[in-house]
Amino acid sequence: MRAFGWIILLRETGLISGAPQWAGLVSGPVELLYNEVTVISGTAWSARPASSAWAASS
């Protein structure tokens, strides 16, 4: 479920890609999803525990 949230934010019509378009910094969508950096980051993000505080309270 956490990885799905990142997909929503990083897709071409997502919030993070839409902000530079809205501000007029870029003319088209920014390719943030499915590049090398985001694939590695997403893999590391989904492999980590949800939260150390949550794990400590269990």
Taking every pair of C-alpha atoms in the chain, what is the biggest distance, in angstroms?
A: 48
Where helices occur in 1-58 by DSSP H, the ranges are: 2-10, 15-23, 36-47, 52-57
Whether residue 16 lies inside any domain: the answer is yes
Question: What pLDDT shows up at residue 55?
Answer: 57
Residue numbers of the domain that contains 22 = 1-40
Whether residue 26 lies inside any domain: the answer is yes
> Which residues in the chain land under pLDDT 50?
none
Question: What pLDDT shows up at residue 12?
Answer: 85
Whether residue 29 lies inside any domain: the answer is yes
Question: What pLDDT shows up at residue 54?
Answer: 56
What's the number of domains the chain is made of? 1
Whether residue 9 lies inside any domain: the answer is yes
Question: What pLDDT shows up at residue 25?
Answer: 93
Question: What pLDDT shows up at residue 51?
Answer: 60
- Token pair, residue 56, equals 């400590």
Whether residue 51 lies inside any domain: the answer is no
